């Protein structure tokens, strides 16, 4: 576990390769996307728990055993005790999209988040880096996290968990996000 700039950990080869590939293929095809625009980001998103065209081949993503495995990763890396799933969402960012500095803190409604990158064919010049920051200042960068396919970052949501996503160039960036409290 890393503690600077806030508590987080990294995992590679998070899902079996076939599951990661099947998920990517479905994300490319699904019509479940809902456009969302706020003051600091623009993206497409939807809840995996409410997707109407969710294929049976991807059911492992929402099974209690998977959620329990992820919660155990948090406890093993952060000694946070038991966690309860709040939601599973999928995000899609396309060419020109970015996400400004924010911390996800909603006063304790959510406490931990695991972000799994599903980005087949990503290259450095595509951007879409997850940026971990020391403060709310966009230039106060602590770490750049490459959105490598099938990698994950788990982090504690707090008033100081500032992060952002750099601009996407000629690429579609997908993330699968498990949120806990």
pLDDT in tens, 74-128: 999 999 999 999 999 999 999 999 999 999 998 888 999 999 999 999 999 999 9
Task: Please report the domains of the chain, with CATH numbers, ordered by start residue.
Answer: 8-49+57-180 (2.60.120.620)
**Among 167, 161, 168, 170, residue whose Cα is nearest residue 6:** 161
User: pLDDT tens across 17-74, in order?
Assistant: 999 999 999 999 999 999 999 999 999 999 999 998 999 999 999 999 999 999 999 9
pLDDT score, position 52: 85
Average pLDDT over residues 171-177: 98
| Distance from C-alpha of 96 to C-alpha of 181, rounded to nearest angstrom | 32
Assess whether the previous peptide bond of 130 is cis (omega < 30° from 0): no
| Distance from C-alpha of 132 to C-alpha of 135, rounded to nearest angstrom | 9
Residue 21 is given by DSSP the state H
Local confidence band at 10 (pLDDT 50, 70, 90 cut-offs): very high
């Amino acid at each position: 576990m890393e503690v600077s700039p806030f508590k987080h950990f990294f995992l590679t080869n998070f899902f079996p390769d076939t599951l990661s590939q099947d998920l990517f293929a479905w994300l490319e095809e699904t019509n479940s996307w809902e456009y969302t625009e706020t003051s600091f980001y623009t993206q497409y998103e939807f809840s995996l728990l409410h997707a109407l065209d969710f294929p049976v081949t991807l059911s492992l993503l929402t099974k209690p055993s998977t959620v329990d495995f992820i919660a155990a990763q948090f406890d093993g890396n952060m000694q946070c005790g038991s966690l309860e799933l709040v939601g599973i969402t999928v995000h899609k960012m396309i060419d020109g999209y970015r996400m400004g500095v924010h911390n996800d803190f909603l006063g304790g409604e959510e406490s931990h988040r695991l972000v799994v990158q599903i980005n087949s064919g990503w290259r450095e010049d595509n951007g879409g880096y997850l940026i971990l920051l020391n403060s709310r200042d966009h230039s106060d960068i602590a770490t750049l996290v490459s959105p490598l396919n099938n990698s994950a970052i788990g982090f504690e949501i707090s008033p100081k968990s500032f992060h952002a996503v750099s601009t996407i160039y000629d690429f579609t960036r997908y993330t699968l996000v498990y949120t806990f409290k």
